[in-house]
Amino acid sequence: MENVNWNLITNILLTVFTGVYVYLTFRLLKSTKDSSKNQERISALPLFECRIDLKKGKKVLKISNISSNPAFDVDIWFYTILFDESISKRELLNKYLFKDKKNKIKKTDKVKLLEDEQYCLFERSLHANLPGKRKIEYTIEYPIECDQFEIILQYRDHIGNNYTQLYWIFNENGRFRLGFVYPKTIQKAERIEMDDAESLNVKNIPERFHYTLKRHLFGIMANHLLENNDNSVEDRWEIK
């Protein structure tokens, strides 16, 4: 049997193990550094919470900046989800809309519904900024009963990055609960210009927003309702 150079083999193995150790240590340090940077980035961002509470028998939407960081260019689209079997779109238009508003709605739009016979009321609130630890409140006072809502919340951080979130809130046994928020984590995103919804390319919008967009196209502006005719956004959406 030939003589084996154990010293050479040992040195080679030590070199390999050392190289693997250095590589794994580098990966760990890089991962830790990236995680630290990500945590630092998140700690500098506005963080939001959306909920609906009952206050003296009235539904109150609360959109809270629970962080200490201000949010800028805050854009809120608020949707009340309605079903034709509960109150038909035609009935709502006939009973609860101002005549001048009613006449502006195209005949085809008066009966347009989603495939599951959904439509919606919608309204919008814009705010230049929302400081940290402050909230926007809106008392929902519609002449019809409603128990499901969606909110598209968009805002920017201090360097102009945009963030978009979709919330679904529903009534369960007399209490309003959060059904989902999408995305669950804070992610930069292109702003969705819902005021130009008919021109939006759905390929550029996350799939979770597609149904909300379709419902928006079949929706009715809430300030067209007889008991909700207040066009002053600032008066109706309070910052507290």
- pLDDT tens for residues 127-141? 999 999 999 999 998
The whole-number pLDDT of residue 232 equals 47
**pLDDT tens profile 6-38:** 777 777 778 877 777 777 777 776 666 555 555
Q: How far is CA 164 from CA 73, 97, 182, 193, in A?
A: 12, 31, 8, 11
pLDDT for the residue 159? 92
For residue 95, the Cα-to-chain-centroid distance in whole angstroms is 31
Q: Calculate mean pLDDT across residues 173-182.
A: 95
Are 223 and 229 spatial neighbours (Cβ–Cβ below 8 Å)?
Answer: yes
Q: Beta 135-140 vs 220-221: how paired, if at all?
A: unpaired
Mean of pLDDT values over 228-232: 51
Question: Minimal CA–CA distance to 62: which of 137, 133, 126?
Answer: 137
Within the chain, strands assigned E span 48-55, 58-65, 71-83, 118-130, 135-140, 148-156, 162-172, 175-182, 220-221, 238-239
Residues 131, 153: Cα–Cα separation, whole Å: 15
Note the pLDDT of residue 107: 46
Cα–Cα dist 204/123, whole Å: 23
> pLDDT tens, 49-105?
999 999 988 999 999 999 999 999 999 999 999 998 888 888 888 888 776 665 655
pTM: 0.78
Query: If you average pLDDT over each of 7-11, 133-137, 192-196, 209-213, which comes out highest?
Result: 133-137
The angle subtended at Cα 215 by Cα 238 and Cα 142, nearest 5°, is 40
For residues 38 and 127, give the distance between their C-alpha atoms in angstroms, rounded to a whole number. 27
Written as six digits, the tokens of 113 are 């519904």
